[in-house]
């Protein structure tokens, strides 16, 4: 049985008049890794951004439907989106460290959130958690932009976990990385899985199959007016999606016949 941390019902997202995502209903399991897959433009990133209210920051974007986080309405008037983004962190496609030292990148969130405790310890713990400590412990004052792409992405993960979130959203976190750096991030995701809930958007189906517990397959459906809308086609245990999917569209996609 799924222990849901998110319960999403009838989620639709508009950009102005355009309905990018239509009527998505799904539940995300606590401390599981959930992969969102599907062809380009089917709304995966749009759905991902709903989980920490990042769509609030896009002019003209509107979210309809219900998202419960730990049983509470994430979009209720009294909910502070800044606090939401502390509890639900995000890692982007392109590593985006601040042009500051490695230390200051990780310390930034704890500082602005006024976190209690010794900052050096918090930084070390986050870097260790992101499997980066050994590589950077002697150069914490160096500029983060001097790190390799893979190290920068692990730094961004360290920055995300430094504020003790419950959930980490990852939007194609490996697409700018080489296979070795990718495999380090995948190992890291699995290490973090015991502690955090992870939702990952990926174009890489092998990656979804390797790292995730559950997989949601989306597609873009064309309506009577010829407009494309993102729809959830199938959501199940990853092993099931990649072995015996229930829907022909999922099967076509995972077997490479489409998308």
Ligand X SMILES: Nc1ncnc2c1ncn2[C@@H]1O[C@H](COP(=O)(O)OP(=O)(O)OP(=O)(O)O)[C@@H](O)[C@H]1O
**Site residues for ligand X per CB under 6 A:** 15, 20, 38, 40-46, 58, 230
Q: Determine contact, residues 11/66, Cβ cutoff 8 Å.
A: yes
- Distance in Å, CB of 214 to ligand X, minimum: 18
Q: What is the DSSP string of 139-205?
A: -TTSBGGGS-HHHHHHHHHHHHHHT--SEEEEESTTTTS-HHHHHHHHHHHHHHTTTSEEEEE-S-H
- Distance in Å, CB of 47 to ligand X, minimum: 7
- Distance in Å, CB of 45 to ligand X, minimum: 3
Compute the distance between CA of residue 242 and CA of residue 221 in angstroms, rounded to an integer.
Answer: 21
Q: Where are the alpha helices (DSSP H) in the chain?
A: 44-50, 81-87, 102-112, 119-129, 133-136, 149-162, 179-192, 205-211, 238-243, 248-254
- Distance in Å, CB of 245 to ligand X, minimum: 18
Nearer to ligand X, 43 or 150 (CB): 43
Nearer to ligand X, 40 or 225 (CB): 40
Nearer to ligand X, 44 or 86 (CB): 44
Nearer to ligand X, 46 or 152 (CB): 46
């Amino acid at each position: 049985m799924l222990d849901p941390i998110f319960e999403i019902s009838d989620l639709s997202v508009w950009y102005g008049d355009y309905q990018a995502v239509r009527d998505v209903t799904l539940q995300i399991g606590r401390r599981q890794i959930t992969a969102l897959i599907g062809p380009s433009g089917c709304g995966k990133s749009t759905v991902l951004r709903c989980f920490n209210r990042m769509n609030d920051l896009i002019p003209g974007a509107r979210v309809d439907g219900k998202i419960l986080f730990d049983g509470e309405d994430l979009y209720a008037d009294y909910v502070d989106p800044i606090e939401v983004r502390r509890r639900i962190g995000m890692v982007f496609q392109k590593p985006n460290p601040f042009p500051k030292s490695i230390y200051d990148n990780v310390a930034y969130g704890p500082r602005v959130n006024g976190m209690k405790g010794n900052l050096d310890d918090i930084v070390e713990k986050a870097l260790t958690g992101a499997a980066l400590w050994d590589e950077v412990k002697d150069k914490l004052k160096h500029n983060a932009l001097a790190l390799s792409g893979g190290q920068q992405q692990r730094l961004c993960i360290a920055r995300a976990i430094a504020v003790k979130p419950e959930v980490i959203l990852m939007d194609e976190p490996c697409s700018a990385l080489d296979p070795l750096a990718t495999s380090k991030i995948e190992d890291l995701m699995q290490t973090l899985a015991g502690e955090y809930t992870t939702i990952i958007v990926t174009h890489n189906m092998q990656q979804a199959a390797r790292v995730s517990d559950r997989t949601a397959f989306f597609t873009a459906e064309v309506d009577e007016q010829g407009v494309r809308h993102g729809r959830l086609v199938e959501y199940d245990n990853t092993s099931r999606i990649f072995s015996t999917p229930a829907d022909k569209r999922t099967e076509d996609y995972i077997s490479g016949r489409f998308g």
